[in-house]
Chain A
Amino acid sequence: MPLVLALEEAYAHAKADEGFQAELAGYLTTYVGRPSPLYFARRLSEHHGAKIWLKREELNHTGSHKINNCMGQILLARRMGKTRIIAETGAGQHGVATATACALFGLPCVVYMGAVDVERQAPNVLRMRLLGAEVRPVESGSATLKDAMNEALRDWVANVSDTYYLIGSAAGPHPYPVMVRDFQTVIGRESRVQILETEGRLPDALVACVGGGSNAIGLFHPFLADEDVRLFGVEAAGEGMATGRHAAALAGGRPGVLHGAHSYLLQDDDGQILEAHSISAGLDYPGIGPEHAWLRDVGRARYLTATDEEALTAFALCARLEGIVPALESAHALAKLAEVAIEVGKDGIVVLGLSGRGDKDLAAVAPRLERMA
């Protein structure tokens, strides 16, 4: 507890410090490549019957939105005098972003990754090692993201004095969900400015995939007060909600406590945490950021689900219609565009958070895509 209290205090100071914000903004511009474009997806728009704009987070350095948060937290870790960085990763996108930030500042980096994910995300494992990080496969439990997070927490409490735990999702103990959200709101702030410049008005709907929910909350948050902007999060329904093999904590879970956060969780009758299932390793988490649980409960945001099959179809469609290979995570959001388009109509404006690029997924999806073709 003292360590998260110390983090909360350090973050509050940094947040209020113009020097910190200016340093972060500088790295986001020159190193990450921000602002990311807001791109009008003409052919997807024609296909779905709405004006669809893609917020191109996949064009960031390292290929996903994860770097936004990593740059913020690595600068915080440096301010706190920490000399060793640890992280958990599912798809490897956060691990790659953390390893990148650590290479940039010459800090040793250990990334915990479920052994199952090490297998299915081999290219990202190689990238992390190339960047100088040590990837530690986690064999316990379901050997996926939640177990990687357990192991990172164990490391952190054993090495509190020199180690900074760089959490990648809007989950975990306070202040992480708030801090990760703050660092990701750059997505929504830019989108707001960009859509006003191009369309001259706010969008009718925002769509983003949700695992822990960092890219979605980063996109949604700057629009929360705009009640006419409908918010759609898309959870992973895996093999189908009815099969029980999914990762949809809101659609298929109950309130509970895991990793220091009170939110919705996949759990059995005894309160034991269930394994999440999704073709996308980055959505394979049995919980969801607490702010999404709140947005759902107060009715501000709606949460849909997309199955593995729907995500794969959308993955292929986006590649063919737009020349963009999305991450499987982002493909879950793309899979619900048809549904959202019906809601907003053909003149409706939709901004979709394209959270990452799909190169990392090619090996894993190739056999299934060939069967579909």
Chain B
Amino acid sequence: MSAGRIEACFAALAREGRAAFAPYVMAGDPDTDTAWRILKGLPAAGADLIELGLPFSDPMADGPTVQRGAARALAAGMDTRGVLALARRFRAGDPMTPVVLMGYYNPILNFGLDAFAAAAAEAGVDGLIMVDVPPEESDPLADALEARGVALIRLATPTTDEARLAIVARRSGGFVYFVSVTGVTGVKEADAAAIADQVTRARDATGLPVAVGFGIRTAARAAEVARIADAVVVGSALVEEIAQSVALKRDPAPKVLDTVAAMAQAVRSARVSG
């Protein structure tokens, strides 16, 4: 069961007394082969859970860094089928690490909700984060995913109040993705002290682990967030390294995996040293 991989991951880390480190990479960025080499290297570099971006032409919740990552991936020919193929290839070699896809609704709607859910489950995908589908509009998607055992992971933000959290919790699974800043990915910096209460509230209201993302760019910041959250998501900082390597005509994979290793180490030692 795929939802089981996410639960097992958080249960094991709870026993270790630490937060999960969850890198986000855009599928197909900057090309399929490089993205594959990064993806398959993530668990060894210290990723506990992987968020794999579904590239979209109009990523309105993303800042410039992830926008450009999506544009590179699309230009290199990545599409929804290609993302599922990458996930399937990853799962063939790694039966344990949860993989969550994150993206926008139109390509999924276009694929067909039931067909997508079936293909995602078959590829060993554990959850789906849809940035532009509010709970009020997500029943058809939730029906399709539930039938295939893929978790629908919902977002909460600093503007999400108690009443709204109850709506967010309904039919959601896996974990709650707490957006730590008001705004888009990779622009503002998260403030762990400011969001600690909100993270606790989200955990209490939903009964799910809380992953924090959208504003964590350094190992130090990752460690701070790791003290209050169940998972730390880092995305734009990794996508930016890909952009820089591409600009210098270097292979991005070693640099991205080194950064992942450093951040994973910071997350692992956060609660001990903190």
Closest B residue, CB atoms, query A149: B60
CB contacts (< 8 Å) of A267 on chain B: these are 106, 110
Most buried by A among B56, B60, B105: B60
A154 near B60: Cβ-Cβ < 8 Å: yes
* CB under 8 Å from chain B, chain A span 139-163: 140-141, 146-147, 149-150, 153-154, 157-161
A5 CB, nearest partner CB in chain B, Å: 9
Partner of B182, one of A140, A153, A157, A272: A157
Asked whether A259 is an interface residue with its Cβ less than 8 Å from the other chain, the reply is yes
Q: Say yes or no for B134: interface residue by CB 8 A criterion.
A: yes
A141 contacts B111, C-beta separation under 8 Å: no
Chain A residue numbers with a CB within 8 Å of B57 are 141, 272-274
Contact B106 A273 (CB under 8 A): yes
B residues 102-117 in Cβ contact with A at 8 Å:
105-111
Instruction: Known A141-B58, A257-B106; judge A272-B74 contact (CB<8 A).
Output: yes
Question: Using Cβ atoms and an 8 Å threshold, which residues of chain B touch A274?
Answer: 57
A270 within 8 A of B: yes
Q: Which residue of A lies closest to B110 (CB)?
A: A271
Nearest B-chain residue to A272, judged by Cβ:
B57
For B63, B81, B132, B160, the residue with the greatest tally of chain A CB atoms inside 10 Å of its CB is B132
- In chain B, residues 21-49, which have Cβ atoms closer than 8 Å to a Cβ of chain A? none
Contact A257–B60 (Cβ < 8 Å): no
Specify which chain A residues have a CB less than 8 angstroms from the CB of B81 in the assembled complex: 270
A154 touching B183 in the complex, CB below 8 Å, given contacts A270-B80, A273-B106: yes
- A2 in complex: contacting residue of B60, B132, B161, CB < 8 Å: B161
A72-110: which have CB < 8 Å to B?
Answer: none
Tell me which of A157, A160, A270 contacts B61 (CB under 8 A): A157
Interface residues of B in 56-73 (CB under 8 A from A): 56-61, 63-64, 67, 71
Q: Are A270 and B110 in contact (CB under 8 A)?
A: yes
Give the docked Cα–Cα distance between A157 and B187 (Å): 12
B64 contacts which of A3, A140, A149, A159 (Cβ < 8 Å)? A140
Determine whether A348 belongs to the interface, using a CB cutoff of 8 Å to chain B. Answer: no
Is the CB of A205 closer than 8 A to any CB of chain B? Answer: no
CA distance A141 to B159 in the complex (A): 29
B182 surroundings in chain A (CB, below 8 A) = 157-161
Closest Cβ of chain A to B186, distance in Å, is 11
User: How far is A158 from B164 in the complex, measured between Cα atoms in Å?
Assistant: 19
Cα A195 to Cα B233 with chains together (Å): 61
Contact B58 A146 (CB under 8 A): yes
Residues of A within 8 A of B60 (CB): 149-150, 153-154, 259
Are A271 and B74 closer than 8 Å at their CB atoms? no
CA distance A2 to B160 in the complex (A): 7
B88 at the interface (CB under 8 A from A): no
Q: Quick one: given A2-B159, A271-B80, are A256 and B106 in contact (CB under 8 Å)?
A: yes
Q: Is A260 on the interface with B (CB-CB < 8 A)?
A: yes
Which chain A residues lie closer than 8 Å to B164 at the CB level?
1-2
* Bound CA span A149–B184, Å: 14
Select one of B108, B135, B159, B187 contacting A271, CB under 8 A.
Answer: B108
Q: How far is the CA of A153 from the CA of B111 in the complex (A)?
A: 25
Contacts of B109 in A (CB 8 A): 256-257, 271
Q: Cβ of B160: which chain A residues have Cβ within 8 Å of it?
A: 2
A158:B184 contact, CB within 8 angstroms: yes
Residues of B within 8 A of A260 (CB): 132
Query: Which of B106, B159, B188 has the most chain A CB within a 10 Å cutoff?
Result: B106
Min Cβ gap B54→A in Å is: 10
Nearest CB of A to B115, in Å: 12
How far, in angstroms, from A158 to B184 measured CA to CA in the complex? 7
Instruction: Give chain B nearest CB distance to A78 CB in angstroms.
Output: 21
**Is the Cβ of B58 less than 8 Å from the Cβ of A273?**
yes
Given A158-B184, A270-B80, A271-B111, do A258 and B58 touch, yes or no (CB 8 Å)?
yes
Instruction: Say yes or no: is A265 at the interface (Cβ < 8 Å to chain B).
Output: yes
The answer to whether B79 has its CB under 8 Å from any CB of chain A is yes
Instruction: Give the Cβ gap from A139 to chain B, nearest Cβ, in Å.
Output: 9
- Cβ of B105: which chain A residues have Cβ within 8 Å of it? 257
**What A residues does B63 contact at CB under 8 A?**
154
A-B contacts, 21 of them at CB < 8 A, read: A1-B164, A2-B159, A2-B160, A3-B159, A140-B64, A140-B67, A141-B58, A141-B71, A146-B58, A147-B58, A150-B60, A158-B188, A161-B182, A256-B106, A257-B133, A259-B58, A259-B60, A260-B132, A270-B80, A271-B110, A273-B58
Q: A157-B182, A158-B182 are in contact. List 16 more A-B contacts (CB 8 A).
A: A1-B134, A1-B136, A2-B161, A2-B164, A149-B60, A150-B59, A154-B60, A158-B181, A158-B187, A160-B159, A257-B106, A258-B106, A270-B80, A270-B107, A271-B111, A273-B58
List the 8 closest A-B pairs by CB distance, nearest first.
Answer: A271-B110, A158-B183, A271-B107, A270-B79, A272-B57, A150-B60, A1-B134, A273-B57
